[in-house]
Amino acid sequence: MKVVIIGPAYPLRGGLATYNERLARAFQEVGDEVRIVTFSLQYPDFLFPGQTQFSTEAGPADLEIEVSLNSVNPLSWWQVGRKLQAERPDIVVFRFWLPFMGPALGTVARMVRRNGHTRVVAITDNVIPHEKRPGDAPFTRYFLSACDGFVTMSRSVLNDLQRLGFGNKPAMYRPHPLYDNFGPVKNKADALQALKLPDTSNYLLFFGFIRAYKGLDIMLEAFADQRVAAMPVKLIIAGEFYEDAAPYEELITRFNLEERIIRATDFIPNEKVVDYFCASDLIVQPYKNATQSGVSQIAYHFERPMLVTDVGGLAELIPNGVVGYVVAPKAQQIADAIVDFYTNQRESAFTAGVREQKKQFSWPLMVNALKQVAGLTAAKPVEL
């Protein structure tokens, strides 16, 4: 089968690029011919909140990646669409995460489908964005109406598709597969040594781009709880600020947390991800809203217990009391869970739970789901 994936990939960096490259390998592993079409320009600089959109690492030698789609240049949409229309791949998989991308991706999808052969499906991270902007609704509808089917990684997005009026198209929920491309599990002592962190303290990890909806402010408030403050535990903040850092620094000062915070607030390169996860006892995701999170799937791969808030699709993947905690996005409840984790020595039991639960998060299952909603396998797609 001939497959094209359209979305972020090298030389772009970040979780979406990592996912799309891993998905391409999953198609290759079942014998499909696959290439990725990525952006020559993903965001104009004034819309990008981080330091740089581009990776400084070497590109993947085992993947075919075409850098040709410009998100704000309609001529490039037409060129990519015409090329794919003529090539007639069996399936084009679009990664849709932001309404801003709707015009570009929707135009390419419409042009490709004109060949009467190619099936167009989308992995829809979000159809209702975390941070609303003018044009969200028409841009999203323009893209979704050009697709033959959808795979979502949370049930909440599956429900959102129905509310938006796309319940007549094939759609399937399939959990985010494991991020197993950051290397094997590392001994905690070795990970601490690599990060130059002393083993006289315990560590919690907040990982990923820092945006308002991810609740780092709630986490800092929980960390100021007197019970937590009395414990030999520090919070690692590992990820680049995608907004003003000043409000968080003000909280650190106000709560007198300076000696208990470890900042790694630059972009974390792939080869260092293993150290941050394996050095930590508990991975914390105090999100205020979410659909799903790749952070959970990195934690599953590295067999680390988790604390998540009961928002969006996060709780779907984290059985409470089995692999960690599911709590309300409130500082008090987060602090209660941290205290319970260390006081009752939950790490070993939760780690065993993680090892058992991680078996269900398979890349072949994701590949099969995409083919099913495209109508390219005998299995009947799940309708909303």
pLDDT in tens, 175-208: 889 988 899 999 999 999 999 999 999 999 999 9
With a CB cutoff of 8 Å and minimum separation 6, the contacts of 244 are none
Please count the other Cβ atoms lying within 10 Å of the Cβ belonging to residue 238. Answer: 25
| pLDDT number for residue 46 | 57
At 370, is the pLDDT very low, low, confident or very high (cuts 50, 70, 90)? Answer: very high
At 384, is the pLDDT very low, low, confident or very high (cuts 50, 70, 90)? Answer: very low
| C-alpha torsion sign, points 181, 186, 188, 189 | negative
User: Using CA atoms in the order 26, 31, 35, 36, what is the torsion angle rounded to 10 degrees?
Assistant: -20
Tokens of 366: 């994701």
Phi (first) and psi of residue 123, to 5 degrees: -90, 110
Residue type, 146: A
Domains (range + CATH), the chain: 2-177+362-373 (3.40.50.2000), 188-359 (3.40.50.2000)
Phi (first) and psi of residue 253, to 5 degrees: -70, -45
| pLDDT number for residue 332 | 97
Angle at 286 between CA 131 and CA 55, to 5 degrees: 65
pLDDT, tens digit (0-9, with 9 covering 90-100), for 211-238: 898 999 999 999 999 999 999 999 999 9
| pLDDT number for residue 377 | 74
| pLDDT number for residue 269 | 86
The whole-number average pLDDT for the span 261-271 is: 90
Tokens of 72: 């704000």
Top pLDDT among 155 and 293 is at 155
Residue type, 6: I
Residue type, 10: Y
Please count the other Cβ atoms lying within 10 Å of the Cβ belonging to residue 268. Answer: 17
Share of the chain above pLDDT 70, in %: 94
| pLDDT number for residue 50 | 56
At 381, is the pLDDT very low, low, confident or very high (cuts 50, 70, 90)? Answer: very low
pLDDT, tens digit (0-9, with 9 covering 90-100), for 63-90: 999 999 999 999 999 999 999 999 999 9
Least confident of 51-65, 285-299, 326-340, 352-366: 51-65
| pLDDT number for residue 383 | 43
| pLDDT number for residue 52 | 58
Look at residue 49 and tell me whether its pLDDT is greater than 60.
no
Q: Which residues pair with 120 in a beta bridge?
A: 92
| pLDDT number for residue 53 | 64
Look at residue 297 and tell me whether its pLDDT is greater than 60.
yes
Please count the other Cβ atoms lying within 10 Å of the Cβ belonging to residue 63. Answer: 18
Task: For residue 93, give the nearest of 68, 112, 74 by alpha carbon.
Answer: 112
Q: Which residues pair with 238 in a beta bridge?
A: 207, 264
Look at residue 112 and tell me whether its pLDDT is greater than 90.
yes
| pLDDT number for residue 313 | 76
Top pLDDT among 210 and 382 is at 210
Share of the chain above pLDDT 90, in %: 74
Total residue length of the chain:
384
User: Whole-model pTM?
Assistant: 0.79
The whole-number average pLDDT for the span 278-299 is: 90
How far, in Å, CA of 310 to CA of 287, rounded? 8
At 6, is the pLDDT very low, low, confident or very high (cuts 50, 70, 90)? Answer: very high
E strand or H helix that includes residue 151: strand 149-152
Look at residue 360 and tell me whether its pLDDT is greater than 90.
no
| pLDDT number for residue 206 | 97
CA distances for 184 relative to 274, 295, 303, angstroms: 8, 16, 10
Look at residue 136 and tell me whether its pLDDT is greater than 80.
yes
Q: For the chain, what is the mean pLDDT?
A: 92
pLDDT, tens digit (0-9, with 9 covering 90-100), for 160-169: 998 898 988 9
How far, in Å, CA of 260 to CA of 194, rounded? 19
CA distances for 317 relative to 159, 213, 358, 360, angstroms: 17, 19, 9, 10
| pLDDT number for residue 167 | 84
| pLDDT number for residue 267 | 80
| pLDDT number for residue 48 | 53
